[in-house]
Structure 1
Amino acid sequence: MQRNIKTHTTIVAITLTLCLVGMVMTSSAFAQGCVNNGDGTLTDAKNRIMVRESCWPDNWESCMQVTSSLVIAGYSDWRVPSNDDYYALVKSPCLKEYPLNESGWTWSSTTDPHDDTYAYTINLKSPAAMPIEHKKDTNECIAIRKF
């Protein structure tokens, strides 16, 4: 009987230790704000966004196709951010680490409701208005996933 109690106590102690280590690791990730995962992605745990570490210039249609076929860090649910996603992305500490071209203009997956040959763009270096541009124009393409 004493042997069972000792074994049970050891298991409980190990389990508690692992839980505490997990809590410390999780809180340190939140404290950092943006974590470079070392696999080509950045994670903003607070806003629950994972961003591909690099962007590329492209037209809207190609940007949508390439992004939807990406498999990075074992995830295949990558997409171009919508206008709503940009509000979280603009607040993200990962934006400070994100490489953008000189202009900073990026595509949104949101199409102009009045003319489907146009889509919204946003300047991540100076986010304010979201102008529309023709989908054949070239802007930066960003891939994100939410979790």
Structure 2
Amino acid sequence: MMGKSLLMLALVWPMLANAADTMTQSCLDGVTLINPTSSFTDNGNGSVTSKVTGLTWRQCPLGQTWSGSACTGDASYGNWESALEDAEALSFAGYSDWRLPNINELRSLVERACATPSINASLFPLTYSATGFWSSTSSFSDAGQVRVLDFTAGAESLVGKSEYKVVYVVRGGN
């Protein structure tokens, strides 16, 4: 179903390209990082494993490729249904059990001491301003909405399942 996401990307890319810009991370001096690089194991294949949660994350959003130090290419934007399908269909780094993270798992990546982006930029080098990353967590009060996380400032929100967002995938956990 990756082709379905690529078609959707082609349809919305002109709108998204105008909002894209290079993210320059800033972190507070003297504040201890909650997600330092030492809290992760680099698996050497474009994925890292959290020593705290046991979750293994693909370092680049779907659509991008890990070069060893950066994510290259364009991230795939899609609606929630295509995000679920694309995550489940992914075969990467020798595994085929990738999935969309729930909101708590996605929150575990937020680096509160930093912004633009509010994530460990060494391990997850966002090079554009993403409007949000899908979680698998639906709203309790409205089945048509899902929780997303924007790593620009680490803010969460509810959005409609038909909106277009980006995907980090995860596997495993404690």
| 4+ runs deviating over 3 angstroms | none
- Which runs of no fewer than 5 residues in structure 1 stay unpaired? 1-29
- Which runs of no fewer than 5 residues in structure 2 stay unpaired? 1-35, 62-75, 112-118
Q: What is aligned with 1:120?
A: 147
Distance 1:31 1:83, change over 3 A: closer
- Structure 1 SS opposite 2:108: helix
* TM-score, normalisation: structure 1: 0.67
Q: What is aligned with 1:44?
A: 50
2:103 corresponds to 1:83: yes
Contact 2:107-2:149 within 8 A present in 1 as well: no
Q: Which string of whole-angstrom CA distances, capped at 9 and with x for unpartnered residues, describes residues 56-106 of structure 1?
A: 322111000010121222222211111121232225xx7322133313511
Q: Larger radius of gyration, structure 1 or 2? A: 1
Distance 1:95 1:58, change over 3 A: farther
Q: What is aligned with 2:135?
A: 108
Alpha-carbon distance in structure 2 between the residues aligned to 1:31 and 1:53: 13
Alpha-carbon distance in structure 2 between the residues aligned to 1:67 and 1:37: 19
Alpha-carbon shift at residue 133 of structure 1 (Å): 0.9
User: Counterpart amino acid of 1:83?
Assistant: I
Alpha-carbon distance in structure 1 between the residues aligned to 2:38 and 2:139: 36
Q: What is aligned with 1:25?
A: none
Count of residues paired in the alignment: 117
Alpha-carbon shift at residue 141 of structure 1 (Å): 0.7
2:88 corresponds to 1:68: yes
Alpha-carbon distance in structure 2 between the residues aligned to 1:125 and 1:131: 13
Alpha-carbon distance in structure 2 between the residues aligned to 1:113 and 1:123: 20
Q: What is aligned with 1:33?
A: 39
> Larger helix proportion, structure 1 or 2?
1
Distance 1:61 1:95, change over 3 A: farther
Alpha-carbon distance in structure 2 between the residues aligned to 1:31 and 1:141: 21
Report the identity percentage.
Answer: 26
